Amino acid sequence: MSENTESSWLQFATDRPRLTVWAMVVATLALVALAALPSVWPERFGLLNPLTIDTDPENMLSSDEPVRVFHDDMKEQFSLYDMVVVGVVNESNPDGVFNVGSLRRIYELTEYASTLRWPDPDNPGRQEGVVEEDMLALSRVDNIEQEGVGSVRFSWLMPEPPDTRNQALAILERAQRIPLFDNTLVSADGKAVALYLPLTSKDMSYRVREALLDKVASWEDTGDQVYITGLPVAEDTFGVQMFYQMAISAPLAMLVIFLAMWWFFRHIRLITSAMIVAMVAAASTMALLVISGSTVHIMSSMIPVFIMPIAVLDAVHILSEFFDRYPLHRDRHRAIREVMGILFKPMLFTTLTTMAGFASLALTPIPPVQVFGIFIAIGVFLAWLCTVTFIPAYIMLMPERRLTGFGHAAGDPDQDTVMGRWLRRLGEGVVSHARAVLVVTMVVVVAAGYGISLIRINDNPVKWFEPEHPIRVADRVLNEHFGGTYMAYLALVPEGDNAAQDNQIFKRPEVLRYIARLQQRLGETGVVGKSNSVADLVKTVHRELLGGDAGAFRIPDSPAAVAQTLLTYQNGHRPQDLWHFVTPDYRRASIWVQLTSGDNRDMSRVVQALDDFIAANPPPASIQARWFGLNYINVVWQDKMVSGMAMALFGSFVVVLLLMALLFRSLLWGLLCMIPLTVTIGAIYGLIGIIGKNYDMPVAVLSALSLGLAVDYAIHFLARARATQAETGSWRRSVAPMFGEPARAITRNAIVLGVGFLPLLAAPLVPYQTVGVFIAAILLTAGLSTLLILPALVTLLQRWLFPGARRAAPNPQNQEEGVQ
Amino acid sequence: MSRYWPVTLFQKLALVVIALGITPIALAQDAGAAPSVERIVNRANMVSYFQGRDGRARVAMSITDRQGRTRSRELTILRRDGPETDAIEGSAYRGEQKYYVYFRRPADVSQMTLLVWKHQDRDDDRWLYLPALDLVKRIAASDKRTSFVGSDFFYEDISGRSIDADSHELIETTDNYYVVRNKPKRPGEVEFAYYDVYIHKQSFLPVRTEYVDDSGNLYRRYTALAVEKVQGYPTVVKARMENLRNGGTTELTYSGIDYDLSLPEDVFSERYLRRAPREYLQ
């Protein structure tokens, strides 16, 4: 960017301030209108894209991702649906929920749940909600038991609520005899009963949950506690709450940033300009997002929260500088020209580096993260554009008298404020103890390296809620009572899937026995509370056909015997249940795996255990095992995210380094510039490893943010250091001025933004808290490492950094960056 | 699916029935006044399940799910009525009935047999023989609305629902059909709120039955797809049951139909389960 462009721009903004402001207002309103009109009146603006919201974490993977294609395919083939899990627990009654009153309520709740369907707006004439046919509940499943000698009975397990205590207890006894129900429908202690409500689509789960909670609101004082959980509920509820949170968190962050700025600058009108820039940038970006047809996803909902502080950042630099300079001249035109002259180039480059940091997210294989990164990069650019045009124009439009009293009173600002005095002392200390600072830095780097080695990659959508959130509580309680509320499925499919494959392999006894062994191994992982398969079904029916003795609980010895056992089973009320476990051609089977934990690393452990089992025990037929289910999809996208983020981080590191080398026309200076951010990222991630915080989605995304932000302070510092050195002719003499205005600007920046993100801590959603804490930590660490490490390094490397310094002959390049 | 589809199908079916030369049986036909609903229901019941003293048919069953995956079964069904008359008067045609079902295909269930003793006033008796386990098992069947061998038909659809279990109301008389609405006397025992039967005026064959649930949704539908006159008896030779909730469909195609074979009663006993009476199974 040449100086001419920069001056003419500034000239325009300061000479035609009104036009500048109007241009920005009109452009912003036009964008917002383009986004809002089709959202409010979709029928009248059919050509434009309306606002579409997508709260589905499955979309973290693109829809043609093999694991999703397979997942959808298997869900279809086995008629599986995502499920809401409802648990009713009674701890006060000695019989648990198996008392007349509780079972009547559970019966009624089941009937009610079976009606939870609504017209599907996308498919007129169709309904969405609970899939009644596939509900699992005491009153909806078949019991199979002995009746008298030589007779077996298929009947509803609980056709109607019992009238007596004995009838109630008999239901428990019957249910526990059926392996498919034990620990899935009823808990071992009889305290709890579960309902499994399959949904036509998982984004119905919030609505279903709300309706159920309404229904059971009158259950107080009955001793029955109702808990609702399951991954779809957690994901959908998070999506809903996320939008409330956006409406609270982003404005609250703005308010706190505003207050912090007011504390430093004490001039409402001036700091309002920074807030306007932030809002224009955030609103325009979100508008562009909508116009482009991108969906507002969990990630993109955070875009305003990210853009606002970054947008304020440059404005704070300008205001801080103006704050210090204005009292010297008492002429805003001259002051603003001076300020912009100093800051234009560093601001441009900090913007470019921040953009590079976020744009690098486009390198990840995760579509919502790509959208997130690209649009923040756009937002950062818009913020920069507004900052360099609107802020000078805004200042020019203010009546001069309004500026009276702004800035430091006459005198040396370095001595007048606590911060000023403290920074000055810091500067002297760092320069005289440069070696000590570097030793401490090395210690931090080593500790960080150790911490990073401890990093635990893990995520769990249920843990996106605070520990006392009803969904977390439900999750804990139900997973204590049952085999698990987290669902994964293991598909057993023919190897190569060729048509010549032996037909009906899943009627073969040795294959079914292998499945049973495989299930046993999964159960030994400690995470799988329960698994259900066609083998369990065959064994149960076989036992009842042969008189109900435990010894008959086995797979019969021929495929025909298996087929006849299953045909007998299909004479019940729910013949279709068989097809959840095996396809009608008996060429594919599915094992329903219930996990007590939704942690991705636990799922990974199960996957590993299975791989080991299969390696040691090759299957008797040429079948291969492939996972699907929401829990498994989460693991896949997490893996992609981690490797993708590493790629993005590396890519943006290289880009930023090149930009820095270009900015300073020196590889050495460029490398120097990268040091604070490297230390910052290392320290932050080292800390994550040491305190044992999971490396999850928000933490991964923050790496890009820290890269983009941490380098800003270094650019400002080094650009000014070079300019000051050129002015004073020596680094020694530059230290004092450097720890004047520039250091104050960096410190104010770090404090304003760090504090500004703390309101996110009040959010009930853990990812928001994580973002709040880590942005604050990143900003403070980056500010600190810039102010400590850079001066120490410059002191030690000055011979190479300022080769011509002693001759005090500023070269043309220095001139260009110097104060005019 | 077009909502007019049923009408056209009805018309076709009516033509088939007329073309077959099925003569009007109903006495009140000429007068143009509809017979009483009890008479309609009784006659339809008789025509559907009690024609002749006994009967035999080979049934090809094809079960198709929503995804279009089809499973085929082949069985032979023998039926023998207790009463020796088909007279409607005094419900004389109704009485004990016995069914013998012999599985032919698929191979791994062939020779499985199923015996049902249908009673008018108490639960049916059912026995099942599983050759691969060499096991005869009595199946208690308090509930007849369970799947018939994994198909979309219920046992009750195959052997007939007792007309005493529902109250009947003639809700419409069209050119070709009596439309009878049936409401269960004990709603807790069934999954429907009511079902409407379209009974062909001339033949008294129910050609369509629609089941509606408590929410007022049609969820299950039976359609007679083809009718032939066999030994003078109008007989459904192809029928379909649709489960509109899960998209499943089962079609039954009857062949080799014979009536009045004089099947001996002891064929319908437990000892013939293991040793199929081949001479009567064709």
Beta bridge partners of A712: none
Q: Given CB atoms, is A79 within the 8 Å cutoff of chain B?
A: yes
- CA–CA min distance A571, chain B (Å): 5
Contact A560 B132 (CB under 8 A): yes
Contact B146 A76 (CB under 8 A): no
Nearest CA in chain A to B1: A125
Instruction: Produce one character per residue of B203-237: b if its CB has 16 or more CB atoms within 10 Å, e if not.
Output: bbbbbbbbbbbeeeeebbbbbbbebbebeebbbbb
Instruction: Produce one character per residue of A520-546: b if its CB has 16 or more CB atoms within 10 Å, e if not.
Output: ebbbebebbbbbbbbbbbbbbbbbbbb
Contact A571 B146 (CB under 8 A): yes
Amino acid in the structure at residue A427: G
Q: Given CB atoms, is A152 within the 8 Å cutoff of chain B?
A: yes
| Residue among B69, B137, B145 whose CB faces A584 most closely | B69
pLDDT along chain B (282 residues), means of 10: 46 52 44 75 88 91 92 93 80 86 91 90 87 89 84 90 89 91 90 93 92 91 93 92 92 93 90 87 78
Give the three-class secondary structure for B79.
strand
Find chain B residues with C-beta within 8 A of A156's C-beta: 143
ipTM of the complex in this document: 0.88
Q: Residues of chain A whose pLDDT is less than 70?
A: 1-9, 42-48, 55, 402-416, 496-502, 705, 804-820
Contact B108 A559 (CB under 8 A): yes
Contact A579 B131 (CB under 8 A): no
Rounded Cα–Cα distance for residues B103 and B130 (Å):
10
- What is the secondary structure of A136-200 as a DSSP string? B-GGGSEEEEE-STTEEEEEESSSS--SSHHHHHHHHHHHHHSTTTBTTTB-TTSSEEEEEEEBS
Rounded Cα–Cα distance for residues B80 and B90 (Å):
20
Nearest CA in chain B to A579: B65
Residue pointed to by tokens 């070709």: B176
- CA–CA min distance B241, chain A (Å): 15
Find chain A residues with C-beta within 8 A of B246's C-beta: 79, 133, 576
Contact A106, A191 (CB under 8 A): no
Virtual torsion, Cα B59, B65, B71, B75, nearest 10 deg = -20
Beta bridge partners of A695: A457
Nearest CA in chain B to A577: B150
Contact partners, residue B206, CB within 8 Å, separation at least 6: B44, B48, B197, B198, B199, B200, B222, B224
| Residue among A160, A560, A584 whose CB faces B71 most closely | A584
N-to-C CA span, chain A: 17
Alpha-carbon torsion B11, B17, B20, B24, what sign? Answer: negative
Q: Given CB atoms, is B282 within the 8 Å cutoff of chain A?
A: no
Contact A559 B147 (CB under 8 A): no
**Best mutation site among B142, B147, B148, B158 for testing chain A: the one with the most A CBs within 10 Å?**
B147
- CA–CA min distance A492, chain B (Å): 19
Contact partners, residue A551, CB within 8 Å, separation at least 6: none
Alpha-carbon torsion A541, A542, A548, A551, what sign? Answer: negative
Which pTM does this prediction carry?
0.83
Find chain A residues with C-beta within 8 A of B107's C-beta: 560
Q: ∠ CA(A367), CA(A314), CA(A750), 5° rounding?
A: 90
- Rounded to 10°, the helix A667-691/A434-453 angle is 50
Q: Given CB atoms, is A94 within the 8 Å cutoff of chain B?
A: no
- CA–CA min distance A146, chain B (Å): 9
Nearest CA in chain B to A147: B140
Q: Given CB atoms, is B193 within the 8 Å cutoff of chain A?
A: no
* Residue in A109, A135, A101 with CA at minimum distance from that of residue A213: A109
Alpha-carbon torsion B201, B203, B204, B209, what sign? Answer: negative
C-alpha distances out from residue A338 to A46, A329, A351, A395, A464, Å:
49, 10, 20, 13, 48
Contact partners, residue A607, CB within 8 Å, separation at least 6: A627, A632, A635
**Best mutation site among A151, A152, A568 for testing chain B: the one with the most B CBs within 10 Å?**
A568
The most distant pair of C-alpha atoms in chain A lies apart, rounded to whole Å, by: 111
C-alpha distances out from residue A285 to A24, A374, A556, B235, Å:
14, 10, 65, 72
Question: What is the Cα Rg of chain B in Å?
Answer: 19
DSSP, res B24: P
pLDDT for res A467:
87
Nearest CA in chain A to B133: A561
| Residue among A148, A564, A571 whose CB faces B132 most closely | A564
Nearest CA in chain B to A565: B130
C-alpha distances out from residue B100 to A99, B114, B119, B147, Å:
43, 6, 15, 17
Find chain A residues with C-beta within 8 A of B142's C-beta: 153, 155
Contact A225, A88 (CB under 8 A): yes
H or E segment and range at residue A748 = helix A741-756
Rounded Cα–Cα distance for residues B27 and B34 (Å):
10
- What is the secondary structure of A540-563 as a DSSP string? HHHHHHTTS-GGG-S--SSHHHHH
Beta bridge partners of B242: B221, B249
Amino acid in the structure at residue B103: F
Rounded Cα–Cα distance for residues A338 and A334 (Å):
6
Amino acid in the structure at residue A368: P
- CA–CA min distance B165, chain A (Å): 18
Q: Given CB atoms, is B239 within the 8 Å cutoff of chain A?
A: no
Q: Given CB atoms, is A125 within the 8 Å cutoff of chain B?
A: no
Q: Given CB atoms, is B187 within the 8 Å cutoff of chain A?
A: no
Q: Given CB atoms, is B148 within the 8 Å cutoff of chain A?
A: yes
- What is the secondary structure of A392-418 as a DSSP string? HHHHHHS-GGGGTT-SPPSS-HHHHSH
Rounded Cα–Cα distance for residues A681 and A676 (Å):
9
Helix then strand then coil, % of chain B, to nearest 5 = 20, 45, 35
> What are the counts of helices (DSSP H) followed by strands (DSSP E) for chain B?
4, 13
Q: Within the 489-508 window of chain A, which residues sit less than 8 Å (CB to CB) from chain B?
A: 504, 507
Residue A344 structure tokens: 């234009």
Alpha helix positions (H), chain B = 5-19, 37-49, 155-159, 271-274
Question: Chain-centre distance of CA A314, in angstroms?
Answer: 27
Helix then strand then coil, % of chain A, to nearest 5 = 65, 10, 25
How do residues B30-44 score in pLDDT, each as one tens digit? Answer: 445 668 888 889 888
| Residue among A152, A576, A578 whose CB faces B140 most closely | A152
Contact B143 A575 (CB under 8 A): no
* Residue in A755, A803, A764, A816 with CA at minimum distance from that of residue A783: A755
Nearest CA in chain B to A130: B245
Find chain A residues with C-beta within 8 A of B215's C-beta: 115
Rounded Cα–Cα distance for residues A391 and A346 (Å):
16
Rounded Cα–Cα distance for residues B23 and A12 (Å):
100
Backbone angles phi and psi of A732, in degrees to 5? -50, -45
The most distant pair of C-alpha atoms in chain B lies apart, rounded to whole Å, by: 60
Beta bridge partners of B226: B238
Contact B132 A556 (CB under 8 A): yes
